Amino acid sequence: MVNVYNITIGQDDCPHTLITERIPDLIIFVMNTNDEANGYQKTFSIFISKDENDLKEALNQLKEYPDIKDINILGKKENLMSLTYSFPRTSAYKNVKKIGFRLHPVVIKGGLERWFFVSETPDLLNEGKQRLNDHLTRVMSLRRLTTNEFINSYSKLFNGIWKMRIDSQTGGTGSEIISEALKAGYYDWPRQSSLTELSKSINVPRTTLTYKIRKLEKKIFTDIEDSEL
């Protein structure tokens, strides 16, 4: 029987967990990982931070990580950066391949790495921590997901990537405005908060907020219109 699991781990041999532990506001989305020769893994990742200086520091720390090689920046805009690089395979990456395969994207924040992975191993909930834990890896949580839980949780990852895109185009304020508008009941019916009240609560001039909300709404609808699904 095939099962889908959600796992959260800490690692002492991974540049992602090290860098995000040092820079708490940094989030890394690992979009793809391939095996290379000589025990290396090649990764395509997206780095996002609230502060552009944090992004520069993250890149500096990545360059200083032991045995890192072939760093190639594919694109960079303000607080968002996409790149590829190679580093020695982590213990967790090697061990998880013995019991299943992991799904991308992988999300790393605050020194913790979160995966979804598929396995046919029986009783993995009982054995998983023992099979993945070692002197370099700490399994913080391991949970089997129902189909609905997986679909809901997995889709939220892509929502997070979409929020990164919105924030990169709005100077980092887009998702904050959406969040505050939802909390204030601006999009409720009947409306629980006026535009004037919302502008005061987030300290943005009413005319500026009107422009930003219209821009966000246009972006959202354009993305929906352009979708090929």
Q: Exposed, middle or buried by CB within 10 Å (0-12, 13-18, 19+), for 218? A: exposed
pLDDT score of 8: 94
Q: Produce one character per residue of 107-125: b if its CB has 16 or more CB atoms within 10 Å, e if not.
A: bbbebbbbbbbebeeeebe
Give the C-alpha separation, 41 to 99, whole Å. Answer: 18
β 27-35/101-109 pair status: antiparallel
Tokens of 218: 């246009």
Comparing C-alpha atoms, which of 164, 200, 167, 157 is closest to residue 181?
200
Judge whether residue 81 has pLDDT over 60: yes
Q: What is the mean pLDDT of residues 49-55?
A: 86
Instruction: Give the DSSP letter string of 91-127.
Output: HHHHHHTTT-EEEEEEEEETTEEEEEEEE--TTHHHH
How far apart CA 214 and CA 5 sit, in angstroms, is: 39
Q: Please name which of 9, 175, 217 lies closest in space to residue 80, comparing C-alpha atoms.
A: 175
Provide φ and ψ at 118, rounded to 5°: -110, 135
Instruction: Name the band, by pLDDT with cuts 50, 70 and 90, for residue 39.
Output: very high
4-18: per-residue pLDDT in tens? 999 999 999 999 999
| Per-residue pLDDT tens digits for 137-192 | 998 988 889 889 998 888 887 777 777 667 666 666 777 888 888 888 998 888 88
Secondary structure of residue 176 in the 3-state scheme: helix
What 38-42 contacts at long range (C-beta under 8 Å, 24+ apart), as own/partner pairs, is 39/88, 39/89, 40/69, 40/86, 40/87, 40/88, 40/89, 41/86, 41/87, 41/88, 41/89, 41/90, 41/93, 42/70, 42/84, 42/85, 42/86
